[in-house]
Amino acid sequence: MKSSFAWLRWGTLAALVTGALVYATWGVLPVLLASVAVAYLLDRPMTWLQARGMSRDGAFTALVAFVGLVLIIGVTIVAPSTAHQVGELVVRVKPALASLQEQAGPWAARIQSSTGVRVPLDAEGLADIAPGYLKQLVDAPDARDAAKHWLGSVFGGGLELVGSLLHFALLPLFTYYFAAEWPRLLRGADAMIPPRHRPLVHEIVGEIHLRIGGYVEGQITLCAILGVMYSLGLWVVGIDLAFTVGLLSGALFVVPYFGGLIGVGAAMTLALLKFGVDWHVLGCLITFVVVHLIEGSFLTPRIVGHRVGLHPLVVMIAVVAGGGLLGIWGVLLAIPVTAALSVVAGALLRAYTRSQFYAG
């Protein structure tokens, strides 16, 4: 009984301290969580580089330089081709929309005559507006304004301060300190655990590490494979910006169901603008359906497997709830945090079923 009261006291104190810290740091909490997540991901390659004679600071610098170099090379290769294709799209969009209206007009009239429902078609008005929006992608000053507006709308959702440039500037700084001090932080946290409970805590933390580590590594591999498959499929179909849309769809797959929805919508729109209503639109849809079937039946079971241990419904609820609480950071962190909580909940459930209270 005395042991139960001790657990209750310390548990209540820990909950109060945690709540106070969350309240005090709520403005920068998403950036802190993102920094911890990135530091966690960097720990394994940094440890590998340390084992080969590099200092921890040197390992962090080398990894950042490598990622930056990859991004620079990628942008250098992709950006000129993308800008050229967008420029051509700006020129073609008005006649393409006019042609689309000619093709869709008879269908709309047939639907209206048979059902009495009027199908609104205003391709001419859209044709006057669309080139202005597309021009923003190739006109530098307009592009900056559009990017600011887009970033504000995306990152401002659910947490206004996250959208500020100050917080994004703090992300690499926080990440550096967390990554540099990661082994010391782990040793300090381990020292706070009572020795008699360390085996249980190590077991729980080890299971969390296996689940999250396996999931993250699997998702990165899966995103890369899907990006290549989407790109090749759309390139075969023949739409503009095939590799841009394909790689973006693969990268966005890190958020479940999001990459496919965005990608298929963009691809079918580009097919309509270039070819009108014909088999190319269906080809884009078939590309995403086939890749999705391959991903669900072959790639995910073998690359990610069931290491996260979450039901698809739980995944969707976690993503929606995370986005509502912390905006884009909440969406990205929803699945790893939910996986960790599921491990803790499982341990608590096992402890409850073994307790005297449960046994009676």
pLDDT tens digits in sequence order for the chain, 360 residues long? 455 556 667 667 777 887 887 777 777 777 888 888 888 888 888 988 988 888 888 899 999 899 889 888 877 877 776 776 666 666 666 666 666 666 666 666 666 676 765 655 554 444 444 445 445 544 545 445 554 554 455 444 444 444 556 667 778 888 888 988 888 988 888 888 888 888 888 888 888 888 887 778 888 888 899 999 999 999 999 888 888 888 888 888 877 677 888 889 888 888 887 777 788 889 999 999 999 888 878 887 777 666 666 777 777 788 788 877 777 777 777 888 888 888 888 888 887 788 777 776
**346: in domain:** yes
Residue 226 structure tokens: 């899907």
- Do 89 and 271 touch, CB atoms closer than 8 A? no
**257: in domain:** yes
Listed residue (311, 317, 309) closest to 340, CA to CA: 309
Report the domain count for the chain.
Answer: 1
Residue 230's pLDDT is what?
Answer: 93
Residue 103's pLDDT is what?
Answer: 63
**43: in domain:** no
CA dist., res. 284 & res. 271, Å (int): 8
What single-letter DSSP state applies at residue 257? T
Residue 239's pLDDT is what?
Answer: 86
| Neighbouring C-beta atoms of residue 255, cutoff 10 Å | 19
Residue 360's pLDDT is what?
Answer: 61
**337: in domain:** yes
**95: in domain:** no
Residue 195's pLDDT is what?
Answer: 87
**86: in domain:** no
**252: in domain:** yes
Listed residue (304, 318, 238) closest to 273, CA to CA: 238
Domain that holds residue 311: 200-360
CB-based burial of residue 125 (10 Å sphere; 0-12 exposed, 13-18 middle, 19+ buried)?
A: exposed
**1: in domain:** no
C-alpha atoms less than 13 angstroms from C-alpha of 151 in its C-beta half-sphere: 12
**258-262: long-range contacts, CB 8 A cutoff, minimum separation 24:** 259/223, 259/226, 260/288, 260/292
